[in-house]
Each structure stands twice: as structure tokens, then as C-alpha cells.
Amino acid sequence: MSTGNRPLSPHLQVYKFEWTMALSIVHRMTGVGLAAGTLLMVWWLVAMADGSTSFLTVQTVMASWIGRLLLLGWTWALFYHLCNGIRHLVWDTGRGLELPVARASGYVVALASVVLTVAAWVAGYMAMGAL
């Protein structure tokens, strides 16, 4: 029995990579990132309870460029996951499931997550008196 021109993976012909697929994948990735970021927060809390030397170590790491980059990523992941979660709650009501609306709401989620992240960081720096 010959397989001829039969595809080995039919899903490769059925699915085309779409914006909404990318958003779904990023939603899962931000969920993992939030869990990892929570470990940083636990490290910070444990160091605070442990004493000034431990706390200074964590603060030094978080104040470095890599620490700030991690915190920025965690902040964005939080806002992206929040906004996309709200989008999913709207979908649970049966609204916004049409492809053009789903695409548009995805763009809103992406933009809102960036705007909220920038706003949070600006507010944080303003509260510290650094801006």
C-alpha cells in the first residue's frame, strides 16, 4: 500500500498562523512568566524578613539593568495577561467571537498592555521622585 502524495501532518495544511493564535500563545507564555516573576517577589519578601543584608542584596540585583528588565517584563506580562483575560471573559458571554472583532480586540489588548506598563512605570518613577 503506497502513501503517494498523502501529507504526513494534515494540520500543516489546515492551520495558517494568525494574529489570534499568536495572542493565545503569548497569553500562555505570560502566565508562565508571571509564575516565574512571583518567585522573584517571594525572594524579595524572604530577604526582607531575613534582614537588611539579604534585602540589600535583592535590591541591588533588582536595581541593576537586568533586574529592571525582568521587572519591566513582569509588569508587561501582568498587564497583558489581565487585558487578555478580560477579553476571554467577554468571549465567555458569546460576544466578540467574530474573526474581525477578535482580531481588533487583540490589537486593543496588545496596545493596552504596553500603555498600562508605561503608565505604571512612569507612576512608579514619579512616586520615587526620579521623574
Is residue 110 within 8 A of residue 26, CB to CB? The reply is no
User: Cα separation of 24 and 125, whole Å?
Assistant: 31
What's the 3-state SS for 50-98? Answer: HCHHHHHHHHHHHHCHHHHHHHHHHHHHHHHHHHHHHHHHHHHCCCCCC
**The pLDDT value given to residue 12:** 61
**The pLDDT value given to residue 11:** 64
Architecture of the 19-128 domain = Up-down Bundle (1.20)
Is residue 96 within 8 A of residue 105, CB to CB? The reply is yes
For 5, the 3-state DSSP assignment is coil
pTM for this predicted structure: 0.83
- Residue ranges of domains in the chain: 19-128
- To which residue does cell 477578535 refer? 102
Is residue 34 within 8 A of residue 77, CB to CB? The reply is yes
Average pLDDT, 10 consecutive residues per value, the chain (131 residues): 62 74 94 94 96 96 96 97 97 94 96 98 92 71
